[in-house]
Structures are given as structure tokens and as C-alpha cells.
Amino acid sequence: MTMQITKTHFEQLLADHENKVVALSGKWGTGKSHLWREVKANSSDEKIKNALYVSLFGLTSMDQIKFKIVQSSIPKAGESSTIWETTKRGWGAASKVLESLHKGFSALNEIALIAVPAILKNRIIVLDDIERKHKNLGVDEIMGFIDEFTQQHGARIILILNNDQLADRELWNTLREKVIDHEILLETSPSEAFEIASGIAPSPYADRIKKSVETCGITNIRIISKIIKAVDKILGRSDLSDDVLHRVIPSTVLLSAVHYKGIEDAPDFDFILKIGNPDDYSDWEKKNEELDDAGKHRAKWRIKLRELGINSCDEYEQIVVEFLRSGLFDVADVTKVIDKYMSEADYMRTIQLARQLQDHIIWHHTIDESELVLEAASLVERAHSLDAYNVTQLHESISKLTDGVPVADAMIDAWVTAFKTKKYDNIDFDNFYHRPIHPKIKAEFELTRATSQAKATIFEACSHIVMNSGWGDKQVKILEAASVKDFEDTIKTLEVEDLRLFMSKFIEMRLQSQAYESHFGLAIKHFIEACRNISNDSNFKRLGELITILFEDARLGSELSRPDNSIEKND
């Protein structure tokens, strides 16, 4: 039952004076005390407006409760003078009775305890935090107190308790059965809880935090207030774009909720930090019925993270976890990451549009497919900003739409074209194959890996030939695939001793070209052309001079100026 509906029913119960004991229950932190304060403030009933409130948190005896009641009865500015006159008369009568019996009874606390019946006569008493009482204070004592003051002194009792934290269920069931006239359960919605929390802790990011809180299903007002403060503390700037906020707020809310225990059966930090990384694919190919309980829990939370828009985590989430665990973080580190996100705003906008398109295709069944194809077409020129997984997933979804295949293929082609313009040296793409990837993209990865491998291993092949006075299929394939540029890059980047070995061996291979050409194809010609290019490049003047010296010593100097790739035969 939402807070507004509960409030209406609660007010109706209080209006019926036959209800001597009313219980307001619900989960911890969902706004029960807040609801009571609202009802009290808005009531026109003087007894409700002047109700006495006592929290039982940590109290060990009924005497302590009674003394707290006396303290609560001391008037505050604006309270009814009639109520205060009743309290004074009760206090004064008790004092005179005690002093007439014995002068030793004049102590304030003893007078207060005797005054309780007179003070509570026909009053409304609110007992809050019952489940947080001390273990020495028994439930049966509280029941006796309630029974005495409702039956003998005309009092009415409102009990506020957290039904998810009751230690002794049997006694509480007895309390409900024998003492409580009516119990009402508060089930605050996440949006209601957030509205209350944002009043306690306002934030410039309130709208976005609220959306994530609602998706997570968090209803604890205290915890939501802590989450809001954590977001404000970590971000702390007003120049963030919508795309950046879309990236950082959902993960900050979720990690904070996990830390403050605001979500039942929540995953741990490690699971969230690994999402979207290769380590997260252990269940990827398993069917739901093949998963154990832990696997099903992970699957459930992968869906929830997608709903939140959390597809992967990086150093930002590491900073958030560090802050939550220690209360400390380096502002410069956050600034660096956020600045990077802001510089990647176009990329983040593309990710958001891609997620929106997927959402429209899956959930918005009333949208005409022709509209979805047009929406997809607008993403083609942005396709290069997506990763291989997302563009493959989009291709699959768009291809299922009527007339969607040409647009889906255009998206893949645009991605591949952009990929070809980038330089990828010494990159291992093995981890990509844990998730589905379009065949064209996979082919480009294979080609790039092969090229990168060739660049990285020309020297290794040369070294193997020198050390072993021979070669195998691996060395043959590497040198056959090596381009002029591969040789240039190798010569330019080798350390001195490695360069000595490399240049000596290939000059020797050039001098004995008939013995090597049949095995290594164009490798020797590509080596000569690379040396010619470097010797004529003013940016590598000293390296060019070294190459010239080495070629002239081998009586090959003329080949550095020869315009074609022909090699004279040397006997």
C-alpha cells in the first residue's frame, strides 16, 4: 500500500476512538515515522496534535519508558495550554503524594514515574522503534503497560515498528493478537521514498538519481539520502552533460545501494566491476536450466544492469568503490575520468541512441517497423563509435525488421571502414570471441592480428634463422607476409645490438639472394626498398647514413639509389 493510501487509512483509524491501539508497520527506513509526523501536523484533533512520542531505541526498562514519556510531556512553544495544565496538575498531585509518604521521594525521577498515570490520562502515546529496544525489556512488559493505560487511564497507543527486524516473532504475534486493535502496513514506493529523501538531501542530479533508484527498487529513505550524498560528493560539479550523467549516475547509485545494503539479494562489488569484461562471460553459452542458483542470480542481475544502462565498468567505478569503502577519493582522479567522458560525449551519445533503438525494437511493439528502420539509418554514420559487440547485436536486431537488412549491413560496413583507418599494433583480439561478432568484423580482426603479428616478429624470424642456421614454416610465413613498411618499422625501432644482427643477416641474404629468394618470396626486395626509403628520409638522417655505410661496405651502395626493385645476381 503506497504512502498516500496508507496515510488516508491511518487517519480514518485514528478518527475512530474505538481503536485504542493502532500499529503502523513496514520495512525499516520506509517512512513510518515521517508518515506519523505528517498526520500529526495536518490533524485538527488536539489530542493527535499533542500526542506524546517516545522512541524505545536502547531502553532497558519500563521506568525508562515512563521517564521518557514525562520528558515528552514538557511543552514546546505553541502547544496547547490546556494539555500543559493537565500535565502540571498530574505532576503536582504526584509530588504531594510522594512527599506526604516520605521526604526521600522528592527526587525528580521518582516524582516523574508516579506522575505518569495522571499525565497520560486520555492522551495519545506514540511508541516508536519497538524492535530496537534493549533485550532486557520484555515484550510482555510493553503489553502490560499498553493494557494498563488504555483500560484504566483512557489512553490511546500508536505503535510504530519495523516488521522486518522483529527478534521474537511469537511474542510479537501475541502482541498483535491480544493488544492491537488494528494494524496497517506501509509499503512505500521507490518514487515516494525518493521524494522524501530528496527533501532531506537535495541534489542537482535529483531527476537522474531518482530514475536509477526506481529501477533498483530502493525504498529505504535513509539509504536513498546516503546515496544522494555519495553522488553529490563524488561528482561535485555543474558542467556535466546529459550523456556523462547517463554514464556515471546509474553505477554510482547501484554501488552505493549495495554498500549501504539498500537492495535485497544484491550482487557484490566484484560482479558489478566485471560486467561487460571477458571475465563476465562464464555463463554466456549456458541455457537457463543449466545454470545453478548462483548462475541464475548472476543472470538476473545482468538483466537489471542492462535496465540501468550499465554495460561495462572502468576506472570510474573503481573510484566509487574506493570512496564507499574508505570514505576517501582523489578529486584529481575523478576529474581526469570525467574530463575523458566529456571529451567522448559523441561516443556516449551514440551508445545511448543504440540502447534506445534496442529498447524500441524489443519493447515498443506499437512503433511501426519502417520508423524503426529510419531510426537505425540515423545511426549508420555513428556506427564507428560502437564496440564490436554492440554493432553486431544491432545488426542482428535491425536485420529482423522489414527492409532492415540493407541498413544493418551499411552499419557493419561503416564500422569496418572506420576500423581500417585506425592503427592497431601488437594487439591480441582473442578475447573478442567470447561474444557474437559479425563475420566481416571478425575477418578484420584476424587480418589486423596477422599483420600486427608479422610486424612484431620479423626480427624474431631473423634471429631464429641466425641462431639455428635454418628456418621452419613459421619463419617462412612471417617473412613472406612482411611488407616494405613492416621492414621500415622494424629497422627504425630495433635496439643497437638487435639492429646489428638484423642488418647483417639481411645484407648476407641479399648477397646470396639465389639461395634465399625461393624460400622467402619478396622479403629481400622489401628489405632493400625499406633501406632505400630510410636512407632518403631526412627525418632519419643518422640511421640513413648508417645504412649507406653498411651497403657500401657490402658493395651494394648503388641499390640505395636504384629506382626499381630489381636485384642484380651476385655469384
Tell me the pLDDT tens digit for each residue of 526-540. 999 999 999 999 999
pLDDT score of 95 more than 60: no
pLDDT score, position 130: 81
The 10 Å Cβ neighbour count of residue 403 is: 10
Question: How far apart are alpha carbons 446 and 431 in whole angstroms?
Answer: 12
What distances in angstroms separate CA 306 from CA 301, 312, 315, 406, one per listed residue?
Answer: 8, 10, 19, 27
pLDDT score, position 431: 46
Element (DSSP H or E) covering residue 304: helix 293-308
Percent of the chain with pLDDT over 70: 83
Helix, strand, coil tally for the chain in percent (to 5): 65, 5, 30
Q: In what order do the strands lie in the sheet with 182-186?
A: 52-55, 124-128, 156-162, 21-26, 182-186
pLDDT digits over 403-460, tens only? Answer: 999 999 999 999 999 888 875 554 445 444 467 889 998 888 877 766 665 555 788 8
pLDDT score, position 320: 94
pLDDT score, position 109: 52
Q: Give the model's confidence band at 37: pLDDT under 50 very low, under 70 low, under 90 confident, else very high.
A: very high
Residue where a domain terminates, one of 422, 437, 472 = 422
Residues 118 and 43 both lie in one domain: yes
Buried-state track 10-46, b at ≥16 Cβ within 10 A, e below 16: beebbeeeebbbbbbbbbbbbbbbbbbebbbeebeee
The average pLDDT across 74-101 equals 48
pLDDT score, position 562: 65
Residue where a domain terminates, one of 123, 157, 188 = 188
Residues 390 and 319 both lie in one domain: no
Among 92-96, 152-156, 316-320, name the most confident range: 316-320
Give me the domain span that covers residue 14: 3-188
pLDDT score of 114 more than 70: no
pLDDT score, position 350: 87
Residue 434 domain-assigned? no
pLDDT score of 360 more than 90: yes
pLDDT digits over 236-277, tens only? Answer: 888 888 888 999 999 999 999 999 999 988 999 999 998 876
Which of 58-62, 80-84, 110-114, 296-300 shows the lowest per-residue confidence on average (mean pLDDT)? 80-84
Q: Give the model's confidence band at 102: pLDDT under 50 very low, under 70 low, under 90 confident, else very high.
A: very low
Residue where a domain terminates, one of 144, 165, 188 = 188
Residues 232 and 298 both lie in one domain: yes
* Structural domains counted in the chain: 4
The average pLDDT across 103-113 equals 49
What distances in angstroms separate CA 345 from CA 275, 380, 385, 386, one per listed residue?
Answer: 22, 17, 10, 13
pLDDT score of 101 more than 60: no
Residues 296 and 364 both lie in one domain: no
Residue 567 domain-assigned? no
Residues 228 and 332 both lie in one domain: yes
pLDDT score, position 287: 64
Residue 376 domain-assigned? yes
Which of 101-110, 119-128, 292-301, 441-450 shows the lowest per-residue confidence on average (mean pLDDT)? 101-110
Task: Give the mean pLDDT of the chain.
Answer: 83
Residues 176 and 222 both lie in one domain: no
Name the amino acid, one letter, at 31: G
Residue 377 domain-assigned? yes
Residues 99 and 224 both lie in one domain: no
Q: Give the model's confidence band at 99: pLDDT under 50 very low, under 70 low, under 90 confident, else very high.
A: very low
pLDDT score, position 21: 93
Strands (E), 39-136: 52-55, 124-128
Residues 385 and 243 both lie in one domain: no
Residue 432 domain-assigned? no
- HEC string of 229-265? HHHHHHHCCCCCCHHHHHHHHHHHHHHHHHHCCCCCC
pLDDT score of 565 more than 70: no
Beta strand 182-186 with 124-128: parallel, antiparallel or unpaired? unpaired
Looking up residue 27, the CATH number of its domain turns out to be 3.40.50.300
pLDDT score, position 342: 82
Residues 480 and 550 both lie in one domain: yes
Residues 23 and 160 both lie in one domain: yes
Residues 179 and 234 both lie in one domain: no
pLDDT score, position 62: 85
Q: Give the model's confidence band at 388: pLDDT under 50 very low, under 70 low, under 90 confident, else very high.
A: confident
pLDDT score, position 429: 53
Select from 244, 447, 490 the least CA-distant residue to 351: 244
In the numeric block, which cell numbers belong to residue 387? 564496440
Residue 435 domain-assigned? no
Contacts of 519 (CB under 8 A, 6+ apart): 471, 476
Residue 345 domain-assigned? no
The average pLDDT across 502-515 equals 90
pLDDT score of 217 more than 90: yes
More confident residue, 4 or 434: 4
pLDDT score of 499 more than 60: yes
Helix (H, G, I), strand (E, B) or coil at 54: strand
Residue with cell 555513428: 382
Helix (H, G, I), strand (E, B) or coil at 568: coil
Residue 570 domain-assigned? no
Helix (H, G, I), strand (E, B) or coil at 52: strand
pLDDT score, position 104: 41
Residues 286 and 299 both lie in one domain: yes
Please answer whether residues 334 and 234 qualify as being in contact, where contact means their C-beta atoms are separated by less than 8 angstroms: yes
